[in-house]
Amino acid sequence: MTGVPLSRSGKEALDVAIMAAQGAGEILKAHFREERQIRFKGRANIVTEVDLLAEDSLKSFLQTEYPDHSILSEESEPITGDSNYTWILDPLDGTNNYSFGIPFFSTVIALTSGDDVLLGIVYDPLSNELFAAQKGKGTTLNSNPVSVSGKRRVQDSLIGLDLGYVDEKGKKLLEFITGLWPNMYAFRIMGSAALGMAYASCGRLDLYFHLLVYPWEIACGQLLVTEAGGVATDWEGRPPGVDESSIIASNEAIHADFLNIVHAR
């Protein structure tokens, strides 16, 4: 990848990210539907020992290949390196799905330089689907180029969303979609924001939105969608950055239509 040094073993950054994601995915597959310990971080916001095993695998691999890079991960304290590069990780996006035996979850990796997102990976280990994007190089699914939906209106759209872990935001979103019904094709509550945005990037969803997503979801998700020809903003139509934010991800036409609906409420 242009601008990013080769890893210690001579690999491109994208190859390192793919190998790291696949290694974590093997851990998730090996322990799926086993009995497991669950710790609550909040109401319906949980972490399992498998999250931590997958996270350790990711961090160990990345630190071996890029020892001077920083790491920001969902389940542990940040690691500060000596370079301007930061890996942003979620070892298991969709922990509730995973813990209930629902086969819809992913491992998420992004590489940033400051606020600039350079690459993003969303890996679904059960379906062996790997969504990848590099800045300026498009989005792929298992190495094949993909693009966002070609539909034009919210009214015709299959919409993905998630309610999140903040009750007042979840209630606000429920009220919003109740008011939107039935002026859309259908809703799907995903359970993995990263996979929701990945699905928007390849046109499986026409639109994905959420009132509160986190850095590990935003950094990767917005790159997947924009590199696939789409638009990803917050609910005010502004760039989401790589901090906590709301998100609207779709093609240009549906995104504009949806923003008009939001602003009319």
DSSP 68-136: TSEEEETTS--B--SSSEEEEEEEEE-HHHHHTT-S--EEEEEEEETTEEEEEEEEETTTTEEEEEETT
- Measured between alpha carbons, how far is 29 from 78 in angstroms, rounded to an integer? 26
pLDDT category at 36 given cuts 50, 70, 90 is low
Q: Are residues 68 and 97 in the same domain?
A: yes
The residue out of 122, 145, 168 marking a domain boundary is 145
Q: Are residues 126 and 166 in the same domain?
A: no
Q: What is the pLDDT of residue 46?
A: 45
Question: Higher model confidence: residue 213 or residue 203?
Answer: 203
The total number of structural domains that make up the chain: 2
Q: What is the pLDDT of residue 244?
A: 76
DSSP structure string for 169-197: HHHHHHHHHHHHTTSSSEEEE-S-HHHHH
The mean pLDDT value for 207-228 works out to 93
Residue 1 pLDDT greater than 80, yes or no: no
Closest CA to 202 of 128, 133, 109, 102: 133
At residue 73's C-alpha, the angle toward residues 67 and 78, to 5°, is: 60
Domain that holds residue 167: 154-264
The mean pLDDT value for 118-122 works out to 97
pLDDT tens digits for range 66-117:
999 999 997 788 999 999 999 999 999 998 899 889 999 999 999 999 889 9
pLDDT tens digits for range 140-189:
999 999 999 999 999 999 999 999 877 888 899 999 999 999 999 999 99
Looking at residue 134, which CATH number applies to its domain?
Answer: 3.30.540.10
Q: What is the pLDDT of residue 44?
A: 47
Q: Are residues 21 and 127 in the same domain?
A: yes
- Measured between alpha carbons, how far is 138 from 128 in angstroms, rounded to an integer? 20
DSSP 205: S
Q: Are residues 163 and 205 in the same domain?
A: yes
The residue out of 121, 145, 169 marking a domain boundary is 145
The mean pLDDT value for 200-227 works out to 94
Structure-token pair, residue 62: 């990345």
- Measured between alpha carbons, how far is 155 from 244 in angstroms, rounded to an integer? 28
